[in-house]
Structure 1
Amino acid sequence: MRMDIRALVMGLAFAFMWSSAFTSARIIVADAPPITTLAIRFVISGLLGIAIAAALGQKISLTRGQWISVVVFGISQNALYLGLNFVAMQWIEAGFASIIASSMPLIVAALGWAVFRDKLTPLALTGLVLGFAGVALIMGTRISGGVDLIGIALCVIAALALAVATLTVRTASGGGNLLMVVGLQMIVGAVVLAPFGIAFETLEVTWSWQLVAAFIYTTLIPGLAATWVWFALVGRIGPVRASTFHFLNPFFGVTIAALLLGEELGPLDVVGVAIVTVGILAVQLAKQKPTAS
């Protein structure tokens, strides 16, 4: 099997951009209301995506499956997953939130076995056990250290929402108009979140260059670029092989948070991240079918 260099670069870029979103979000929610800020980000990212797509000749002419995916992905990925994570990161660290979110491939595999009776190979079963054990180890050390339990609960629910969103990617990535799909699903996220921001938040912002830089970065890079790269990657190599790159997220997430935010990593955290990483990789590799070289 030949190595697809472009897919490799796309996968690494996606993993880095996706993981960095937790650090930029942590900076944002320290000085601005999370739900309102995220809704504004979605509006800007969505309109930019739609405008660029229109300039490239793409039209709002999607298949029925794509429209369903735009709505489901917009609600699950943007409103629920990112919305809950933004709220949670008022109380928990970016690196910890990224580890919980990174467990999404494990959740998908577990749900496939429990709900759809998917068969698990020994490698996949080993990966599931390792992955969840690693997450449990990290959670145990954080809970004993006094981490906010509501924040953890919100992140877990967010990971479940991301798992649902992932199941819709295959439909959304087919039929062309990828950038238009990305833009539209962000508008859906904004529409869902805006009423909650208006109802429950006060628009109080402590302005700083760090806040502005983090907002611009998260709008353009994790918000627009990473989502487009993910759809393109899935369209190029399929959702199973593309999901393999999620195994890099725990490492990237905690590393970026440690470097930019100064978050501390204890020995058990490092061990837990390594275990989760190996577990995710094992689960994803077990899904791949050998192909002729």
Structure 2
Amino acid sequence: MDLRSIGMGLAFAFMWSSAFTSARMIVADAPPLTALALRFLVSGLIGIALAAALGQSARLSRASWRGVVIFGICQNALYLGFNFVAMQWVEASLAAIVASTMPLLVALAGWLIFGERVRPLGVFGLLLGMSGVALIMGTRLSGGVEVLGLVFCGIGVLALTFATLAVRGASAGGNVLMVVGLQMLVGSAVLAVVAALTEPWQVTWSARLFWAFAYTTLVPGLMATWIWFMLVARIGAVRAATFHFLNPFFGVLVAWALLGERLGIWDVVGVVIVALGILAVQWAKVPGRA
């Protein structure tokens, strides 16, 4: 893995993790699903415009269209939709930690449902990661965390896990930005319908809302997704997914730095355990490394 790939992986992990803090800022002043639908609309249109300017086509293969629909619904509408609603009640750091367990859940589902062989290092990583999650959840629950918000975060990461399993092997066929933009428009359409039926239009306009919305739209929403696709094309999905072990660190760190969220000793211990578990699971998948 060269330095450019490492830089791309670090950038992706930081951008992805920081989205929870900016989302927490947004839902403090705006209805979550409406804001998310608008975010995806803007990101999607920008992505498609840039893709068209680069000569990318919307004429995709059947597998690519399936990925667009599945990811648009499961990742953008369900995963992020449930997380945005949940962050009205739970801290951004906790939402980031729950979401970062996706690689563990993918590995666990592949083992239990699809009968995929898991090396001893992978099994150790699964057990280690889940124990870290249990430690953090036990600490937060005893501290009075909102259970409904935690459940919504759990539903969201399960939707993302399903999407990841469902479209394994699907390729963007060189139309990376076009696929990203189309996925976001699918998510925007689904969320707009739900928001219109369930949310009132109540917005507290502020500079923080503007900058948080602009950041989450352009950086985690568009740039991080594009970098992820490029990283996968460069080093492969297995090696790229190794960078997920940084997500708990960055998620907790950004929330602590920008929102002043609590960071207890057991949170730190739990994050380290989860990160090591994710790293072990992903490292076990790299040929010749287990």
TM tier, shorter chain?
A: over 0.9
8 Å Cα contact 2:63/2:171 also seen in 1:
no
Whether the 8 Å contact between 2:132 and 2:271 is mirrored in structure 1 is: yes
Q: Secondary structure at the match of 1:248?
A: helix
SS of residue paired to 1:167: helix
Partner of 1:152: 150
Cα contact 2:17–2:247 (8 A) shared by 1: yes
**Sequence identity (%):** 65
Q: How far apart are the structure 1 equivalents of 2:14 and 2:277?
A: 19
The reply on whether 1:24 has 2:39 as its aligned counterpart is: no
Deviation at 1:165, TM superposition (A): 2.4
Q: Secondary structure at the match of 2:262?
A: coil
Separation in 2 of the partners of 1:99 and 1:229?
21
Structure 2 counterpart SS, 1:143 = helix
**Aligned pairs, number:** 289
Matched with 1:127 is 125
Match of 2:258 in 1: 260
Which residue does 1:106 correspond to in 2? 104
Specify the alignment match of 2:162 in structure 1: 164
Q: Which amino acid aligns with 2:262?
A: E
What are the Cα deviations for residues 215-271 of structure 1, in whole angstroms up to 9, with x where unaligned? Answer: 000000000001111111111111111110000000000000000000011111110
Report what 1:179 is aligned to.
177
- Alpha-carbon shift at residue 170 of structure 1 (Å): 4.8
Gaps of 5+ in 1: none
**What amino acid is the match of 2:25?**
I
Structure 1 residue 154: Cα displacement:
0.7
Matched, 1:40 2:48: no
Deviations 1:146-202 (A, max 9, x none): 101111111111111111222356544441110000000000000111111001000
Equivalent residue, structure 2, for 1:78 = 76
For 1:290, the equivalent position in structure 2 comes to: 288
- Give the stretch that moved more between structures: 167-176 or 185-194: 167-176
Contact 2:172 2:179 in 1 (8 A): no
Are the aligned partners of 1:170 and 1:235 in contact in 2 as well (CA < 8 Å)? no
Structure 2 match to 1:54: 52
Partner AA of 1:204 in structure 2: Q
Structure 2 counterpart SS, 1:235: helix
What is the TM-score when the length of structure 1 is the normalising length?
0.96
Alignment map for 1:234-249 (pairs within 5 Å):
234-249=232-247
Q: Give, in whole Å, the separation in 1 of the partners of 2:185 and 2:214.
A: 17
Unmatched 5+ stretches in structure 2: none
Which SS does the other structure have where 1:120 is aligned?
coil
TM-score normalised by the chain length of structure 2: 0.97
Task: Report the Cα distance in structure 1 between the residues aligned to 2:233 and 2:163, rounded to whole angstroms.
Answer: 16
Match of 1:192 among 175, 190, 193: 190
